[in-house]
Structure 1
């Protein structure tokens, strides 16, 4: 992914317009929610807030917790090695939309 740098001016009402290049990169538009995350060093990360489509509030809360934990402590993340038997177990299962094209055997 290429680096995008854009500037925007703060108005007297403390409002700003998100530059079009940023809106396109984040795939955001009218009605979308955006999230600002500020690190301890003062860097700001802006991302599109994606709603968890889960009827179960416990599942939604757990997924939110996982997301925050992964962002806060990326050093805890590790590569998950795929079990060799998974190809046999998934034989005949349509994985379109679940995996990237390069992950489908």
Structure 2
């Protein structure tokens, strides 16, 4: 007889949730791991772990881990972004529309 585990979590105002510990253990999820949702026509949602081979660039992951460790180790180094810098960035990028769902061309990959 198979054992069924159940867990629930609550959505925040920003539609975020914490993956319950029982689910994290069952899927062997760690920090920064990716999860995949399969939505069936019945409305059932299946949650699976994305294999490392399918995950993002490992170099980027290592860089982001480095940043997270550095920020945790040296929070005094964090600085607010200068308003003039933000305005300069907006002047350089204003009016540029980007569709993040559009696939990259072969030249852009």
TM normalised by structure 1 equals: 0.47
Larger Rg: 2
Query: Relative to total residues, which structure has the larger helix share, 1 or 2?
Result: 2
